[in-house]
Amino acid sequence: MNIHFGSKKNKREVVIVVAAAAAAAVVVVIVVVVVVIVVVVVVVVVVVVVVAVVIVAAVVVVILRIVVVVSVVVVVVVVVVEVVVVVIVAVVIIIIVVVVSVVVVAKVVVFVVVVVVVVVVVVVVVVVVVVAAVVVVV
C-alpha cells in the first residue's frame, strides 16, 4: 500500500508527529507504571508500620494483664520490679519496631530511587531513539 504524503516537507512533518506521539505514549506508560509501583510500595510500608504498632500494643496489653494478675498475689516490691520490667520490655519492643520500620522505609526509598533512575534512563533512550529515527527519516 503506497500512501502519498504530498511534498517532502509534509512527509517530514508526518514522521515527526508520529515519532512524537509514539515517544509520548511510551513516556505515559512508563510514568503510569512508576506511579503504580510507588503507590504499592507506600501501601506496603503503611501496612508494615500499622501491623508493627498493633503487635506492640497487643504485647504490652498481655504483659500488663500478667502484671495485674501477679500483683494481686505478690508484695509491692515485686509489683514495682515487674512494672519496671514491663516498661523495659515495651521500650525494647518499640525500639525494635522503630528500627525495623526505618530499615523497611530505607529499603523502599532505595527501591524508589532505583526505579526513578531506570525510568529516566529508559525515557532518555526512547527520546534518543525517536530523535535518531526522525533524523534518519528526514
Q: What is the pLDDT of residue 1?
A: 46
Answer with the residue of higher pLDDT: 110 or 138. 110
- The pTM score is 0.47
The model's pLDDT over 44-89, given as tens digits with 9 standing for 90+, comes to 888 888 888 888 888 888 888 887 776 666 666 676 777 888 888 8
| Rounded Cα distance, 2 and 62, in Å | 80
If you search the block for the grid coordinates 505478690, which residue do you land on? 74
Band (pLDDT 50/70/90 cuts) for residue 2 is low
What are the distances in angstroms from CA 73 to CA 68, 70, 81, 99, 138?
9, 6, 14, 37, 92
Q: Percent of the chain having pLDDT more than 70?
A: 85
SS3 92: helix
DSSP state of 75: -
| pLDDT reading at 132 higher than 60 | yes
Q: What is the pLDDT of residue 71?
A: 66
